[in-house]
Structure 1
Amino acid sequence: MGHVSAIGGRQMSGRAIEARVSQRVFFGVSALLFAVSAAVTIIGAASMSAMGEMPMAGGWTMSTAWMRMCGQTWPGVAASFLGMWVAMMIAMMLPSLVPMLLRYREAVSGIGETRLGPLTVLVGMGYFFVWTAFGMVAFPLGVALAALEMELPALARAVPLAVGVIVLIAGALQFTAWKARHLACCRETPGRCLTVPALPTDAATAWRHGLRLGLHCSYCCAGLTMVLLVVGVMDWRVMTVVTAAITIERLAPHGERVARVIGVVIVGAGVLLIARAVGLG
């Protein structure tokens, strides 16, 4: 009897060691991925900044992210934008995604699943696939709008005011029940808000779980993403502020209250931008 207990104890000790090693690998890979994506984002933003911006009617400048430079093809520009977008999203979302993945791992390991590494990768891939798709939609829309602004000076002159209005709307979204619901889903454990048939314990359901999580979090970040797109999509300062806002409202206690405080700041920025645009006009 004692021999059986000793064997059981060694098995439990072995599982505990494996769990600790797995968790350390998870944190190590996450830190490395964040460092690489942040470095790529900063280098790309600096490179784009070095190319300068185009002065536009209305006293503002257009980012080269939406333009085809000499020697570039549109497929090349699109691929470059998408690569930068994915790196930027990984750097911006990973600080708040890691705790969610950690809760997922704990929930899945609690029902005896041992393939935590591959399943975690699939959830993360599904999550960032949603953001990649968002970038694939944003790029042609941004290019088309930039082309119209260059062809129509009257439209270009209205951009500063439009930016202020969009920022104001983005701030207002922070106070809505829609925002609160999706924020709660991003802060909860797997299965509470996400309509998953069961905890993801195979590749297909892990992928779908990542997709659902990505959709909830993209909805949650809709207002802050709007600010990023209209204020400075490749500006590292804007990216840093938006990343901090996303991370704080996801991880801080009383996230809904934090989101509303962030909303007050964004609304104030929108009012200032509108006032500035009207003054310049």
Structure 2
Amino acid sequence: MSALARTVRADRERAASRSASGSGFAFPGICVLLFIASVVATLAQSASMAAMGALPMPGGWSMSMIWMPTCGRTWARTAASFVDMWIVMMAAMMLPSLARMLARYREAVGSRVRASRLALLTLRVDVGYWAVWIASGAAVFALGAALATLELRWQALAREVPLAAGLVVLLAGALQFSAWKARHLACCRATPRIAADAATAWRYGVRVGIHCACCCAGLTAMLLVVGITDLRMMAVVTAAITAERLAPDGARIARLIGVMAICSGLLLIAQAAIAR
């Protein structure tokens, strides 16, 4: 009887191994397809936003119309459109590093659950993660729309925007050297040791999403002030985020990025001062 039990157990282990292997091959494939889809959607959105044009402002800069209702749209519809654009854009930017985070989670809990259960848990982690970014997108729009309204109302404020953009980039570079940044970056790179249940998966996704948003705060701020619709700047920020998350010495990469951001901020401030 014990021999039969051992045989049945071995068969189950082999079946689980085959199932996990298939799931392991499917996961990176799904990530690649989602990344390609998000990049294509981002390019399409960028072309659509470029067609909307920009409003010339005092101080020699132009305001993107994504912050204001146009063509009879309500504020609610404008906000929903921005959040939709934000999530698609962040998917393209975050998926390279997010895929590694999800892979760590799957490695940590995969031996304790079946492949189908692992897929559902991974999905819950993913949903929790993106819930944080949806909330951050709504907050960014509220802040951006408020600033845009003030800049349209007061020309003196609008003239200071190029100088303020340089200061934001400078401060974002300085943030790369902070202990706050190092702590959140370490949490983003850590391998989880957690229970394999649905509630824990959701909480883990939310927690990692918060660490990720905080870790990327400076780089995201740079993207917002330099040009959220600028594909070149988006590619630079994506490369920076991916490098500091996946490189063997992420903290060193983060400091190197900080040096480049500080230099860029000083250059923008000098250009703004010369143009005054």
* Shorter-chain TM-score above 0.5: yes
- Is residue 75 of structure 2 the alignment partner of residue 74 of structure 1? yes
Cα distance in 1 between the residues matched to 2:144 and 2:14? 55
- Is residue 213 of structure 2 the alignment partner of residue 218 of structure 1? yes
Instruction: Give per-residue Cα distances to partners, 1:247-270, cap 9 Å, x unaligned.
Output: 000001100000000111111100
- Is residue 144 of structure 2 the alignment partner of residue 142 of structure 1? yes
Percent of aligned positions that are identical: 55
What is residue 22 of structure 2 aligned with on the other side? 21
Cα distance in 1 between the residues matched to 2:253 and 2:39? 25
What is residue 86 of structure 1 aligned with on the other side? 87
What is residue 119 of structure 2 aligned with on the other side? 117
Cα distance in 1 between the residues matched to 2:261 and 2:189? 22
What is residue 181 of structure 1 aligned with on the other side? 183
- 8 Å contact 2:112–2:196 — kept in the other structure? no
Q: Which amino acid aligns with 2:109?
A: V
What is residue 270 of structure 1 aligned with on the other side? 265
What is residue 195 of structure 1 aligned with on the other side? none
Cα distance in 1 between the residues matched to 2:101 and 2:239? 16
> Between Structure 1 and Structure 2, how many residues are aligned?
274
What is residue 226 of structure 2 aligned with on the other side? 231
Q: How does 1:51-62 map to 2 (within 5 A)?
A: 51-62=52-63
Cα distance in 2 between the residues matched to 1:30 and 1:112? 21
Q: How far did 1:77 drift?
A: 1.1
Cα distance in 2 between the residues matched to 1:209 and 1:38? 26
Aligned-residue Cα RMSD (Å) equals 1.5
Q: Which amino acid aligns with 1:278?
A: A
Q: So what's the TM-score if we normalise by structure 2?
A: 0.95
Decide whether aligned partners of structure 1 residues 200 and 125 sit closer, same or farther in structure 2, where only a CA change above 3 A counts: farther
- Is residue 249 of structure 2 the alignment partner of residue 254 of structure 1? yes
Q: Which amino acid aligns with 1:110?
A: S
What is residue 66 of structure 2 aligned with on the other side? 65
Q: How far did 1:244 drift?
A: 0.7
Q: Name whichever of 225-234 and 241-250 sits farther off.
A: 225-234
Task: List alignment gaps of at least 5 residues for structure 1.
Answer: 192-198
Instruction: Give per-residue Cα distances to partners, 1:181-219, cap 9 Å, x unaligned.
Output: 11111111014xxxxxxx142222211110001011111
Cα distance in 2 between the residues matched to 1:233 and 1:46? 13
Cα distance in 2 between the residues matched to 1:95 and 1:276? 34
Q: Name whichever of 270-279 and 227-236 sits farther off.
A: 227-236
State the SS of the aligned residue for 1:110: helix
State the SS of the aligned residue for 2:62: strand
State the SS of the aligned residue for 1:253: coil
Cα distance in 2 between the residues matched to 1:77 and 1:98? 30
- 8 Å contact 1:105–1:120 — kept in the other structure? yes
What is residue 133 of structure 1 aligned with on the other side? 135
- Is residue 198 of structure 2 the alignment partner of residue 203 of structure 1? yes
Q: Name whichever of 244-253 and 35-44 sits farther off.
A: 35-44
- 8 Å contact 2:113–2:196 — kept in the other structure? no
Q: How far did 1:113 drift?
A: 5.6
What is residue 196 of structure 1 aligned with on the other side? none
Task: List alignment gaps of at least 5 residues for structure 2.
Answer: none
- 8 Å contact 1:113–1:201 — kept in the other structure? no
Cα distance in 2 between the residues matched to 1:100 and 1:161? 37
Q: Which amino acid aligns with 1:222?
A: A
Q: So what's the TM-score if we normalise by structure 1?
A: 0.93
What is residue 51 of structure 2 aligned with on the other side? 50
Q: How far did 1:111 drift?
A: 3.5
